Amino acid sequence: MRKITVGTVDIGEKGINMVVDALKRGRISGGVNVRRFEKAFAEYHRMPYCVAVSTGTDADTIALASFRQLGYPPQGEVLVPALNFISVANAIIHAGYVPEFVDVDPKSWNIDPRAAAQAIGPQTVGMIPTHLFGRPCDMDPLLELARKHNLFVVEDAAEAHGARYKGKLVGTMGDMGAFSFYVAHIITTGEGGAVLAGDEKQAEVLRSLRAHGRACSCPVCKLNVDSGYCSIRFEQGGDLEDSRFSFLRIGYSAKMNDLEAAIGLEQIERLDQIVQARRKNFFFLNEGLGQFCDYLNLFEEGEDGWISPLCYPIMVSEEAPFTRRELVKHLEHSRIETRPAFGSIPTQQPAFEYLGHKKGEFPNAEAVGRRGLYIGVHQNLSGEDLDYIVATFAEFFKKFGE
């Protein structure tokens, strides 16, 4: 029997052919495919600008770093949910800010707006709510806090392509939206990321930051597309007389390449289809595993949200007569792949011990770290796979009287 994996690689024939075409044309750095990808992703979200980058972590990093170029303080604290993948906290530090961790709501696993309000202090300059595992955050109170305290908001939608909050696509409600196209995510470019922006100045800064802080930041680069002559290049270069070698700000090396963009273009065309398949699988498992609610806390869509599930999160009940490790062992031996549900970055990740947080400061995030896990819910699961998952859980619970 094949292994039921957490993620899937689902690249269509069109995407493969576009990669081959890029290779044949010898255009493998950022070029015409990147621009097409940016246009398609922006249009899908009804946003004016998209800036494609090399990873989702870079998307968070350059989005955050851009705000010191856009009139916000160059230093300060950024609110971030304690329950998160490590990259979001890393990005805050890479961007030159300090992460101010906030506990999560125990039902949604997303940042708790009440806890966020209490965490705001004189050094707070922004927040980065994460739509964890594809469930949208409760954005209205977060945006109200941001307006009240003049904070920037970067939505981390790395795991939530196509998800909606009160009908609005995630990544379009804050000042910017950051996405990841890592291989295990809802749509993929292999690695890759993108930032959605609402105005030209934001997009200009983002394009500069992804290219070392370069002075030239046109939406379409003639040199990258067809090696054509650029009339601007030698007019705005300053003392060096070449804008491609004039740098206005401290930047990053974070460009998407044309091979990744080729894969992504085909993925965007199928995004709605992929999300619908994942939603169908998600609700099938919720119904099938609902009989074990004495032992498991299942992930729900939420009243105001429309989930785009990255995975199928589960939390072992505190009263359960077994441990997460025992359940994981049973699933893994049954060829159902699992992952732990991240946990509390400031108190359960050794890399952040230097901040001095103590166990118990983020009880909800820490509980997920101790008892949470997830399995696959991707579009390539068959009906037989889903039935097998439910049957495997049922087999495990037999020993406990279910």
Residue pLDDT, tens place only, 216-254: 666 665 556 565 666 666 665 566 566 667 788 999 999
Higher-confidence residue of 256 and 302: namely: 256
- Specify the 3-state DSSP secondary structure of 126: strand
What share of the chain has pLDDT > 90, as a percent? 86
The stretch 77-85 carries a mean pLDDT of 98
Q: pLDDT per residue over 125-168, tens digit each? A: 999 999 999 999 999 999 999 999 999 999 999 999 999 999 99
Q: How confident is the model at residue 214 (pLDDT cuts 50, 70, 90)?
A: confident
Domains of the chain, first to last: 13-269 (3.40.640.10), 271-400 (3.90.1150.10)
pLDDT at 26: 83
The stretch 393-398 carries a mean pLDDT of 95
116 close to 79: Cβ distance less than 8 angstroms: yes
Sorted by sequence, the CB contacts under 8 Å of residue 217 that are 6+ apart come out as 204, 205, 207, 208, 211
Cα separation, 80 vs 142, in Å, equals 12
The two tokens of residue 114 are 């009440």
pTM for this prediction? 0.93
Report which of 376, 398, 206 is spatially closest to residue 291, judged by C-alpha positions: 398
Highest mean pLDDT among 9-18, 68-77, 148-157: 148-157
pLDDT at 230: 60
Q: Which amino acids are annotated catalytic?
A: 185
Cα separation, 113 vs 221, in Å, equals 42
The stretch 317-330 carries a mean pLDDT of 96
The stretch 193-219 carries a mean pLDDT of 90
402 close to 391: Cβ distance less than 8 angstroms: no
**Sheet strands side by side (includes 339-340):** 296-298, 312-316, 372-375, 339-340
Q: Is the pLDDT of residue 402 over 60?
A: no
Cα separation, 251 vs 243, in Å, equals 15
pLDDT at 168: 98
Q: Mean pLDDT score of the chain, rounded to an integer?
A: 93
Helix residue ranges, H only, 243-402: 258-269, 271-289, 324-333, 345-348, 363-371, 383-397
